[in-house]
């Protein structure tokens, strides 16, 4: 499988950049693609990565200077169908790893404009990709990042993509029912349906990785040089829960547990994201196959995570308080949760389990960049799920769309 061409879409992002380096280290020819819109969304939200991040040009240059190989950088917007089609036609990839979406649930819930932009960007970008693959690289394996949040929190076990149902004496295996909790999570459900359809109708080979919440910021490749670092978000829009709790704890602020903290989710270490994507590429789906893997390694409730962070801090003499704040989201406060996650293990995944040493090392990274923490971004997110206003109603600035000029 090595020496083959892999396109990483969304390669300027938290996961895309380390994934591009990881695959390059494994001997793949890597083409790193992004439209840099995330850097513009940061400007719009007044947010920024805690860890300074270099431009894509600088990153790939540093990678080359360190003798690690060539990562080919291309500025392409997935909503530009022609540019995307040209990219696929000219590179004929063996695999495409698709991270390039608007991935924040709170951002998608700000108002009508953010909801529409999220779904246009994500659903249309993925559709453009499916058409480009069908036309120019029909053998290519699509590895698409979905999300565990597609399933919601049903009161039965969550299977990996499909469930066998017996109904009125007949039996069938069908896509597992979806009950997502934001317009962002809904965009992933729409993607899954579109991908599944093109597998059946056109013979596309696809793996949908329903990933849980990712934590951590260090991989063997990001650790090589500060200019190879990946972004680390901690604010109320982009920061995921464990990363946020660790930053809050490092700066002595209370941990913002929404509600009772009984919301249970699947989690994984960023190094396991790298491994799962590699395993998926190395064991590709067959033509016409729509394969779904649940990509997480452990389940935790939000309160359990807060307690883990508090205890890790206490082991070093630090004190952390846990605040139960009203939940700005619309989600079940406590619920049954048992999601299967066996298929990637069967392919060879050896999970990094969450340990206090990992929490310690992220706290150390935060302390290194403590001057960059914006205290106004650390607290409870100010996006309320039930508001559902339009920009005109809120009087806020225009949402940045992918088609506008990009920022380096
Ligand atoms: P991120 O925002 O850091 O990176 C996404 C990248 O995609 C950005 O660099 C952005 O500029 C780019 N992008 C967005 N729209 C684009 C377009 N139209 N054309 C080209 N590039 C575009 O997000 P991330 O945390 O790295 O997440 C990557 C993927 O993994 C997303 O699809 C997300 O839904 C999924 N995922 C993330 C997590 C997590 O915890 N971070 C968990 C589960 C799933
Ligand atoms: N939460 C808190 N306090 C906080 C922040 C979050 O209690 O300060 C809670 C939320 O209410 C939620 C849980 O923590 O119940 C997870 O929230 P999150 O912001 O970490 O994760 P989420 O919004 O679901 O989105 C993130 C990524 C998204 C990915 C998803 C995986 O941003 O791209 O798809 O994790 S999953 O949750 O499995 O769908």
Question: Which two tokens mark 365?
Answer: 């990274």
Q: How far apart are CA 266 and CA 211, in angstroms?
A: 8
Give start and end residues of each alpha helix (H) in 315-373: 343-346, 356-368
The side-by-side arrangement of strands in the sheet containing 29-34 is 71-75, 29-34, 5-9, 95-98, 141-147, 205-211, 290-295
On whether the CB atoms of residues 61 and 238 are closer than 8 A, the answer is no
> Residue 150 CA: which ligand is closest?
2
What number of H helices and E strands is found in the chain? 14, 14
Q: CA triplet 1, 32, 266: central angle to 5 degrees?
A: 75
Catalytic residue among 147, 219, 264, 273: 147
Ligand 2 mean position, distance from CA 384 (Å): 14
Ligand 1 mean position, distance from CA 98 (Å): 8
User: What's CA 375's distance to the chain center, in Å?
Assistant: 24
Identify whether 147 is a catalytic site residue.
yes
Query: What pLDDT, on the 0 to 100 scale, is given for residue 407?
Result: 41
* Tens digit of each residue's pLDDT (9 = 90 or more) over 279-330: 999 999 999 999 999 999 999 999 999 999 999 999 888 899 999 999 999 9
Looking at the chain, the whole-number percentage of residues with pLDDT higher than 70 is: 95
* Tens digit of each residue's pLDDT (9 = 90 or more) over 121-133: 999 999 999 999 9
Q: In sequence order, which residues have a C-beta less than 8 Å from that of residue 405 and are 6 or more positions away?
A: none
Q: How far apart are CA 66 and CA 43, in angstroms?
A: 31
Atom 13 of ligand 2, residue of closest alpha carbon: 241
Query: What pLDDT, on the 0 to 100 scale, is given for residue 47?
Result: 96
CA distances (Å), 119 to each of 182, 185, 406, in order? 11, 10, 20
* Tens digit of each residue's pLDDT (9 = 90 or more) over 3-28: 799 999 999 999 999 999 999 999 99
Catalytic residue among 28, 118, 188, 258: 188
Atom 43 of ligand 1, residue of closest alpha carbon: 211
Mean pLDDT of 55-77: 98
Question: Which two tokens mark 373?
Answer: 């923490």
Ligand 1 mean position, distance from CA 13 (Å): 6
* Strand blocks (E) in 88-181: 95-98, 141-147, 162-167, 170-175
Identify whether 178 is a catalytic site residue.
no
On whether the CB atoms of residues 354 and 298 are closer than 8 A, the answer is yes
Q: Domains along the chain?
A: 5-390 (3.40.50.720)
Pocket of ligand 1 (CB under 6 A): 10, 12-16, 34-38, 77-79, 99-103, 121, 125, 145, 147, 211, 213-214, 231, 240, 402
User: Best of 21, 103, 269, 344 to mutate for ligand 1, by most ligand atoms within 8 A of CB?
Assistant: 103
In the block, which residue shows the tokens 């390694």? 297
Q: How far apart are CA 382 and CA 47, in angstroms?
A: 13
On whether the CB atoms of residues 366 and 251 are closer than 8 A, the answer is yes
pTM, full prediction: 0.96
Give the SS3 label for residue 323. Answer: strand
> Residue 257 CA: which ligand is closest?
2
Query: What pLDDT, on the 0 to 100 scale, is given for residue 388?
Result: 73
Query: What pLDDT, on the 0 to 100 scale, is given for residue 317?
Result: 86
Identify whether 184 is a catalytic site residue.
yes
Ligand 1 mean position, distance from CA 102 (Å): 6
Q: In sequence order, which residues have a C-beta less than 8 Å from that of residue 250 and are 6 or more positions away?
A: 363, 366, 367, 370
Q: How far apart are CA 21 and CA 126, in angstroms?
A: 23
pLDDT band at residue 397 under the 50/70/90 scheme: low
Question: Which two tokens mark 234?
Answer: 């901690």
User: What's CA 312's distance to the chain center, in Å?
Assistant: 26
Residues in a beta bridge with 71: 30
Atom 15 of ligand 2, residue of closest alpha carbon: 263
pLDDT band at residue 46 under the 50/70/90 scheme: very high
> Residue 122 CA: which ligand is closest?
1
């Amino acid at each position: 499988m090595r020496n083959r061409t892999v396109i990483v879409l969304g390669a300027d992002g938290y996961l895309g950049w380390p994934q591009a380096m990881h695959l390059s280290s494994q001997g793949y020819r890597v083409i790193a693609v992004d439209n840099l819109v995330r850097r513009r969304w940061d400007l719009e939200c007044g947010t920024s990565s805690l860890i300074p991040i270099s431009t894509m040009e600088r990153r790939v240059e540093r990678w080359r200077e360190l003798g690690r190989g060539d990562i080919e950088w291309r500025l392409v917007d997935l909503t530009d169908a022609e540019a995307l089609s040209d990219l696929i036609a000219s590179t004929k990839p063996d695999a495409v790893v698709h991270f390039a979406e608007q991935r924040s649930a709170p951002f998608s819930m700000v108002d009508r404009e953010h909801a529409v932009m999220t779904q246009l960007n994500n659903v249309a970008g993925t559709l453009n990709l499916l058409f480009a693959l069908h036309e120019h690289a029909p053998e290519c394996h699509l590895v698409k990042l979905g999300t565990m949040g597609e399933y919601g929190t049903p009161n039965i076990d969550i299977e990996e993509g499909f469930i066998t149902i017996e109904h009125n004496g007949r039996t069938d295996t069908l896509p597992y029912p979806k009950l997502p909790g934001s317009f962002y999570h809904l965009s992933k459900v729409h993607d899954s349906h579109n991908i599944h359809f093109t597998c059946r109708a056109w013979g596309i080979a696809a793996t949908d990785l329903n990933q849980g919440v990712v934590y951590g910021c260090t991989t063997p490749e990001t650790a090589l040089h500060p200019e190879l670092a990946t972004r680390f978000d901690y604010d109320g829009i982009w920061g995921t829960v464990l990363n946020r709790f660790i930053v809050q704890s490092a700066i002595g602020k209370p941990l913002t547990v929404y509600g009772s903290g009984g919301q249970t989710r699947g989690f994984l270490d960023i190094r396991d994201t790298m491994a799962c994507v590699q395993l998926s590429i190395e064991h590709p789906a067959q033509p016409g196959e729509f394969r779904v893997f649940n990509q997480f390694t452990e389940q935790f409730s939000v309160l359990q995570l807060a307690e883990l962070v508090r205890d890790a801090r206490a082991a070093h003499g630090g004190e952390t308080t846990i605040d139960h704040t009203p939940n700005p989201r619309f989600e079940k406060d406590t619920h049954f949760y048992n999601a299967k996650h066996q298929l990637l293990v069967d392919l060879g995944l050896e999970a990094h389990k969450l340990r206090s040493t990992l929490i310690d090392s992220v706290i150390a990274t935060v302390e290194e960049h403590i001057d960059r923490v914006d205290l106004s971004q650390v607290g409870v997110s100010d996006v309320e799920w039930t508001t559902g206003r339009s920009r005109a109603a809120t009087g806020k600035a225009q949402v940045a769309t992918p088609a506008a000029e990009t920022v380096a």
